A and B are shown apart, each in its own frame.
Chain A
């Protein structure tokens, strides 16, 4: 059974760096075709894909947020960490992590799916 859980601060101040951890079970991030992604949803807005890391350490970032994001994995701990710098009030959102699978031959394109998601964690940016 695949499960994912997001953890991190619920409140950050403007200009601070947010660090979120996704702890998962039921799969290994060393398995070919497997990845973990981060998605957020700000109040009243559409969900927004942020970043993705694959089993082979291939990393993908949202083009609009790339300069602020870093995604890393710790395979031994079954964790993926996302950092987002220079947080502002507009970054207030619920952040989700999700398991992704793609056939390793098609991971370079958009084929695959985010099949299991965490419950999400609400992060508020306020002074």
Chain B
């Protein structure tokens, strides 16, 4: 069974930069996995931030960026704001099985 792994938790200071990663148990993550990133705050619906590795929606703040880093998908927050405290989770597409698999999520604390 394919497992997608994220850091369980990270802490960042306001104004700082943090990178969250998303890896696959099957090997290196490439653009063919169409990495997606979502944000979810308590009591709210998930919000899509990034799709297809690095594409942003019209509502995605400029401080969020997506990339591939060392065989993983990555979400970087630059100039972190207190309101960025949330859970972030990734989604990868596995074409060989036509399956979408979510990561376990990273709880980001802004402190």
Contact = CB atoms under 8 A, between A and B. Distances in A.
Contact of B105 (A46, A115, A117, A119): A46
B102 A63 contact: no
A111 B102 contact: no
Given A64-B1, A114-B36, A46 B102 contact: yes
Contacts of B52: 111, 113
A39 B38 CA distance: 13
B91 interface: yes
17 contacts: A45-B104, A46-B4, A46-B103, A49-B101, A63-B97, A96-B46, A98-B46, A109-B93, A110-B32, A110-B95, A112-B51, A113-B48, A114-B36, A116-B45, A117-B46, A119-B44, A120-B45
Contacts of B36: 113-114
Contacts of A47: 89, 102, 105
B99 A48 contact: no
B53 to A, nearest CB: 11
Contacts of B103: 46
Given A96-B46, A119-B45, 4 more contacts: A39-B102, A113-B52, A115-B48, A118-B45
A63 B34 CA distance: 19
Contacts of A114: 36, 38, 48, 91
Interface string A70-113: 00000000000000000000000000101000000000011111
Interface string A29-49: 000000000010000011111
